[in-house]
Amino acid sequence: MAVRQAVFLVGGKGTRLGKLTATTPKPLLAIAPDILLLDLLIEEAARHGFTDIVLLAGHLGDSVERLYHGRQIRGATIRVIREPEPAGTGGALRHAAGMLDPWFLLANGDSWFDINLRALAVAPPRDRLARMALRSMEDTGRYGSVELHGRRITAFTEKKAATGPGLINGGLYLLNRAVLDHIAGPCSIEQDVFPELVRQGAVDGRVFDGYFLDIGLPETLAQARRDLPFRLARPAAFLDRDGVLNTDRGYTHRPEQLQWIEGAREAVLALNEAGYLVFVVTNQAGVAHGFYHEADVHAFHARMQTELADIGAHIDAFYHCPFHPDATIRRYRHPSHPDRKPNPGMLLKARREWRIRDRGSFLTGDRDSDIEAANRAGMPGMLFDGGNLLATVRQALAAVRPVAGPLPKPIFTETPAMQAG
Ligand SMILES: [Mg+2]
């Protein structure tokens, strides 16, 4: 079973930020207009398919609870757990013991490491209790350093004890619930629990090279607000489904009919790793003709997600059009529904619902109607005429990937009120 739970530590005091965090918990600081850091972190987990999100709140936890408890964000459900009294990150985790899955993602709520979260959660190690996302840094001093031999972490030094280039703890972990056996009372996961687990050889490390940011200092918060306008919008790959991702058997809809096109899952993974949003856009006239229901479409897509998760890949969202001009089911009859390709409605809807960067975005489909939909949405369409989808997607990436040049315009302009005090 794919890991579906993501737990965020949002109880930190943020003392180094002074008055900024006197009344606002660090994860609730705005990193762009109308975007709190925690919004971004939750959205990232949700789009990677983590549907059960738990926020461990402490300091100023009432505001976290008020803003997030019970909300649904991109299909994920959010629960806020407030510790009765400060007991460190370890104590906060222990307090949530009753609701933890056997394996779950744990993340710091005051940093963002832009990686493929599915790759961190893929195939949990049978003989370890934790897997840590690592990043190489020019100077590890501020963060503390980690030594990796093969896949195993052999040394873990807390911040400021070491300097110079090396690997740092990226603040993102895949944890087995059994780590709770190593937490007796109030303690820090980073300072107490991990060093002990590392001594026992129980922690795997995996190196990622994504953008890393923590907002623990006024200057890093200011940096975040400068960088993020360029990072929040991603290029998107729109993939037709039948005949592109899976073999088209004619009105394919039963999960057991799912047969991946050669290189299809690997193509999705390559797009995930390249920082793309990946959307499926599929006409499903079989619904209009009464051959199957929309619930069957969703079930088929759920099977796709599960099999993608097995290799560390995911689809960010599925868009399907159940309408057809000759529908036998009246409510699905429409002479030219805006969502039905070659109309571009599904692509335009994705553009409204996600922060998509036009530059670098493209569609791959196996019919002229796919390509026409792309062109009508103002983006390139690449025809897939069989063979290996990974090869086609690699060609598409090479063709559309922006060459070195000026960064796109920021999506907002920094205002003085947003600068770190
Ligand atoms: Mg097709």
pLDDT in tens, 382-405: 999 999 999 999 999 998 875 544
Is domain 234-400 in CATH 3.40.980.10, yes or no? no
Determine the distance separating the centroid of ligand 1 and the alpha carbon of 227, expressed in angstroms.
Answer: 38
What confidence tier does 407 reach under pLDDT thresholds 50, 70, 90?
Answer: very low
Q: State the helix-helix crossing angle for 389-400 and 264-273, rounded to 10 degrees.
A: 30
Annotated catalytic, 34? no
Average pLDDT for the chain:
90
Instruction: Assign domain 5-231 to its CATH superfamily.
Output: Spore Coat Polysaccharide Biosynthesis Protein SpsA; Chain A (3.90.550.10)
Specify the pLDDT at position 1.
Answer: 78
Q: How far is the CA of 275 from the centre of ligand 1 (A)?
A: 24
Catalytic residue from among 39, 204, 214, 240: 240
Name which residue leads in pLDDT, 273 or 142: 273
pLDDT recorded at residue 377: 97
User: How remote is the CA of residue 365 from the centroid of ligand 1, in Å?
Assistant: 6
Active site residue 242: yes
Tens-place pLDDT, residues 48-61: 999 999 999 988 88
Any idea where the domains of the chain sit in the sequence? 5-231, 234-400
**For range 9-17, the mean pLDDT:** 75
Q: What is the percentage of the chain residues whose pLDDT exceeds 90? A: 74
Q: Give pTM, 2 decimals.
A: 0.92
Tens-place pLDDT, residues 225-274: 888 878 889 999 999 999 999 999 999 999 999 999 999 999 999 999 99
Can you give the pLDDT at residue 402? 58
CA of 162 to the centre of ligand 1 (A): 55
Model pLDDT for residues 290-336, shown as the tens digit of each residue: 999 999 999 999 999 999 999 999 999 999 999 999 999 999 999 99
Q: What pLDDT digit, counting tens, does each position of 203-232 carry?
A: 999 999 999 988 888 888 888 888 887 888
Q: How far is the CA of 243 from the centre of ligand 1 (A)?
A: 5
Query: Is residue 413 pLDDT above 50, yes or no?
Result: no
pLDDT over threshold 90, residue 34: no
Determine which one of 39, 110, 192, 242 is catalytic. 242
What's the confidence (pLDDT) of residue 242? 98
Q: What is the pLDDT at residue 405?
A: 46
Q: What is the mean pLDDT of residues 185-201?
A: 91
Ligand 1 centre to CA of 364 (Å) is: 9
C-alpha 242 – ligand 1 centre gap (Å): 4
Averaged pLDDT, 23-49: 91
How confident is the model over 118-133, as pLDDT tens digits?
999 999 999 999 999 9
Task: State yes or no: pLDDT of 412 exceeds 70.
Answer: no
How does residue 368 score in pLDDT terms, banded at 50, 70 and 90?
very high
Model confidence at 64, in pLDDT bands (50, 70, 90)?
very high
Higher pLDDT, 118 or 33: 118
